[in-house]
Every structure is written in C-alpha cells, then in structure tokens.
C-alpha cells in the first residue's frame, strides 16, 4: 500500500478564458508537481515529453470528497481513467473499491494489493477467458448480457467456486448534459431494464452471488442538477428491480458522471447540492436495502492532478502567427488536440510551465512534431513569451491521456509517466 501523500500548498495558475488551476505548487515561478520544479522534474524523468501526476493533488481531491459526501457512501475508482500502476496503488489505499474494464486492468488492481472483493469488472465485450480469470480471482463480474452471466456460471462450476456477479442495467433514461452518454435507449452497455428481472431470476436459479446492480447513465457532466436527477432516477430504478430479489446485496452502484472543466467558460462542478442529495439517498438505502450506495469516479479523481509536459524545440512565425513547435502532440494527448478533427476543437488550459511568473500576454500556438495540421495543443492562446528549451504544460491531463492516445502514430517515441 502506498504511504500517505503529503499535500503541499498549491499555487494558482490563472487563464484568460479557462477556470484557474489550483492543484499544483509553484516554486520560483515554475510549475512544481509534487513540489518539484518542472525543469528539475524533466531532468529527473530524463526526457520530454512526459505526464506528471501529483500524488498530493489526488489525495486532496479524495479528502475533499470524503469531507463533502456522506460517510456511508462508498467511493470507487474507475481505473480506465488512468491505469498507471503507481496511480492505481495510490488510489487503492484511499478509496473503497476499484472498477476495471480489461484483464490487464484487473491484474493492475490485484497487483496493487486490493482484496478481490473490492474489485468489479465491467465492459460489454468481456471474453469467456477474461470472465474465467475474474471468477478465479474472486472479483465481481459485472455482467452486461445473458451470455456473460452464463459464462460466469460455467466458469464457477468448472472451478468449484461461487462466482460473484453484478448486473449492469441499461436504464431507459440518460444523464442530461453529459459529455458521454452510457445509458438510455439502444446501447451496447448493460441489459435493458425491462429484461433485468428475467436475468435476476437466472442469477437466483444458478446460485451465484449477486453483489448488486450497476447503473451508469453517463459521464463528464458539470451540471449538478442533471447529476442529481440521474441519481434519483437510478436509485428508484435499482430499488424497484431489487424488490423482487428478496435477498441481501452488497451495494447499489449509482455510477459517476462528475465532470471537470476542460474548456473556456466551464467551471468546477458544485458538489454541495450533490452531496445533500446523496446524503438523503444513503439514508434511504440503509432502510430500503440494508446496503451502501457506491459512486464510481474516474476523471474527477485524477484529471486535475495530471499535467502533460513537452519541450519547445523551435519558434517560428508564419503570416504573422507565432508557432511554438514542441516534441509532444496529439500522438500522446489526443483529446487536447481535438480527437483527430472529429470534434469542434477547443483549447485545454495551457501555460509555459517554467515562466509562470511572467505575463501571459503574447498570442502563440503550440503545435507538435507530427506531419499533420491536426497536431495542435494550443491554438492562438495568450501565453508567456516562449523560446526553444522552454517547457509547455497542458493541464487537466490526468485522465484519458496517454492510454487514450495513438502513441504509434508516425512512429515517434512514447512519453514517460511519473507520479510525484
């Protein structure tokens, strides 16, 4: 288990259009993840580009959630947001459970020393081999189809063990205003709520252990009222589906959906009303189910604590526009570049990491080394004057960064990762 993280005093990086970043210390005008000035951290890592994750910032976010949310609520981490083993081990020690979405993530979770009963395995395309491995490990298989349930039953029978399963429900409603909808209408995820009773009948008949229900309507939502509405509907749906079960369950997973501000004009999620709503739901769950509620968060726990750092290798002007050419780009950080042009591109918060004490008053674009016009990390942003050798920081990079990027594109080297 990881040792307690030292939470250092954080500085404030302000932007003209983005929400201020307050997760990292600032030392002598330099961004300092984990208290290490970024220029020195680059020397420690040995190269650029790299991702740096601040252990203290992660711990501070979890502590803030614990302080705001009801004590009875269980907090789980969705490893897919950032599966770096050191990050997972750190979060395993300060959360109540882990959710994995592949056999490799399962291995990372178990390798972090987490008890199998604290791990659940979700995903619509789990293979029979993966399900067998999960049953053998004793973790909860979140079944998303009748076939997955039968594969878990067969695996348990073959090994002489009782499988632990949860049933993922595809609700008829969706999470309004979410950046990514995971439920409501036709979806590859989960089992339509109308079919869940017959699946629960099969669970009872087969003799497997039902850990609970998993209902996840959507993610990346910055509107508290939408999250509250989804949580209320999720609880009522879960309660109605479990009324006919008439046996104890271990938990009811309400999903997550907590968003982070990536783009201009976005603000931090207001936890106050969400916490108040969850407090009431936890009281109800104690009486109605005799079991705790779970929220499962990924990006909300780690996005703010990560920064992608690359080095300026050239400064050039073209038709009056300044370009800072760096050694990092979309092959390492796809979402910051605009996902290969598939979405209307907006800038992430970006700064010259070793010049935070200088005015950010020069319009410059930060681009990568790839031979494509899509390799853009910052398009005409106001930054401190930068030259070759300076370090560029892309903030809000702790989730869905490295492992969600096409690192093999154009065969450039992969970036390093470090938890400090």
Matching fold, domains 26-53+306-419 and 83-297: no
> In the structure, what pLDDT confidence band is assigned to residue 3 with cuts at 50, 70 and 90?
low
pLDDT at 342: 67
Indicate whether 208 pLDDT > 60: yes
308 - beta bridge partners? 51, 394
Percent of the chain with pLDDT over 90: 89
Confidence of residue 2 (pLDDT cuts 50, 70, 90): very low
Which of these, 254, 126, 241, lies nearest to 183 by C-alpha position? 254
Q: Which residue has the tokens 């348990």?
A: 156
Architecture of domain 83-297: Alpha-Beta Barrel (3.20)
**pLDDT tens column, 77-121:** 999 999 999 999 999 999 999 999 999 999 999 999 999 999 999
d(CA 154, CA 149): 9
Residue 281 pLDDT greater than 90, yes or no: yes
**Percentages helix, strand, coil for the chain, rounded to the nearest 5?**
35, 25, 45
Domain boundaries defined on the chain: 26-53+306-419, 83-297
pLDDT at 175: 56
Predicted TM-score (pTM) of the model is 0.94
Task: Reply yes or no on whether the pLDDT at 5 is more than 60.
Answer: yes
Residue 1 has pLDDT above 50, yes or no: no
Class of domain 26-53+306-419: mainly beta
pLDDT for res 341:
79
pLDDT digits (tens, 9 = 90+) for 19-45: 999 999 999 999 999 999 999 999 999
pLDDT of residue 185: 64
The torsion defined by the Cα of 169, 174, 63 and 67, in degrees rounded to 10, comes to -100
**What integer pLDDT is reported at residue 188 of this predicted model?**
74
Taking residues 340-366, report their average pLDDT: 93
CB neighbour list of residue 152: distance below 8 Å, 6 or more residues apart: 131, 134, 135, 141, 143, 163, 165, 208
95 Cβ contact list (under 8 Å, min separation 6):
62, 75, 76, 77, 301
Q: Residue range 212-239: average pLDDT?
A: 93
pLDDT-based confidence at residue 184 (cuts at 50, 70, 90): low
* CA gap 14, 129 in Å, rounded: 49
Per the CB < 8 A criterion, the answer to whether 369 and 26 are in contact is no
CB-based contacts of 406: which residues, under 8 Å, 6+ apart? 330, 331, 334
pLDDT, position 217: 77
CA distance 265 to 243: 44
Instruction: Give per-residue pLDDT as tens, 285-307.
Output: 999 999 999 999 999 999 999 99
Q: Does pLDDT of 209 surpass 90?
A: yes
């Amino acid at each position: 288990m990881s040792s307690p993280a030292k939470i250092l005093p954080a500085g404030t990086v302000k932007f003209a259009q983005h929400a201020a970043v307050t997760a990292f210390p600032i030392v002598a005008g330099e961004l300092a993840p984990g208290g290490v000035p970024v220029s020195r951290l680059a020397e420690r890592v040995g190269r650029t580009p790299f991702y740096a994750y601040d252990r203290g910032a992660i711990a501070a976010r979890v502590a803030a959630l614990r302080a705001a949310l009801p004590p009875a609520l269980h907090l789980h981490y969705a490893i897919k947001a950032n599966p770096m083993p050191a990050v997972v081990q750190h979060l395993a020690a300060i959360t109540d459970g882990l959710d994995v979405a592949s056999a490799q993530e399962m291995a990372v979770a178990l390798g972090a020393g987490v008890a199998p009963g604290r791990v659940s395995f979700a995903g619509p395309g789990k293979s029979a081999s993966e399900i067998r491995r999960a049953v053998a490990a004793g973790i909860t298989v979140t079944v998303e189809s009748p076939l997955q349930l039968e594969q878990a039953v067969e695996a348990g029978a073959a090994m002489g063990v009782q499988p632990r399963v949860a049933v993922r429900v595809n609700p008829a409603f969706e999470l309004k205003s979410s950046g990514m909808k995971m439920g409501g209408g036709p979806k590859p995820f989960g089992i339509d709520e109308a079919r869940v009773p017959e699946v629960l009948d099969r669970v009872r008949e087969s003799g497997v252990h039902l850990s609970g229900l998993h209902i996840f309507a959507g993610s990346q939502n910055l509107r508290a009222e939408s999250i509250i509405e989804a949580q209320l509907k999720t609880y009522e749906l879960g309660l109605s589906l479990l009324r006919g079960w008439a046996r104890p369950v271990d938990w009811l997973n309400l999903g997550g959906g907590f968003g982070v501000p990536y783009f201009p004009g976005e603000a931090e999620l207001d936890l106050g009303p969400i916490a108040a709503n969850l407090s009431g739901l936890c009281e109800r769950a104690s009486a109605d189910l005799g079991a705790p509620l779970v929220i499962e968060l990924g990006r909300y726990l780690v996005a703010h604590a990560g920064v992608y750092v690359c080095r300026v290798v050239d400064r050039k002007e073209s038709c009056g526009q300044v370009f800072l050419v760096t050694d990092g780009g979309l092959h390492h950080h796809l979402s910051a570049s605009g996902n290969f042009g598939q979405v209307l591109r907006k800038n992430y918060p970006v700064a010259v990491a070793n010049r935070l004490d200088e005015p950010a008053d020069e319009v410059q674009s930060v681009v990568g080394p790839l031979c494509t016009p899509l390799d853009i990390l910052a398009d005409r942003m106001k930054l401190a004057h930068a030259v070759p050798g300076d370090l560029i920081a892309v903030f809000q990079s702790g989730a869905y960064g490295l492992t969600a990027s096409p690192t093999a594109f154009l065969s450039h080297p992969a970036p390093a990762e470090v938890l400090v």
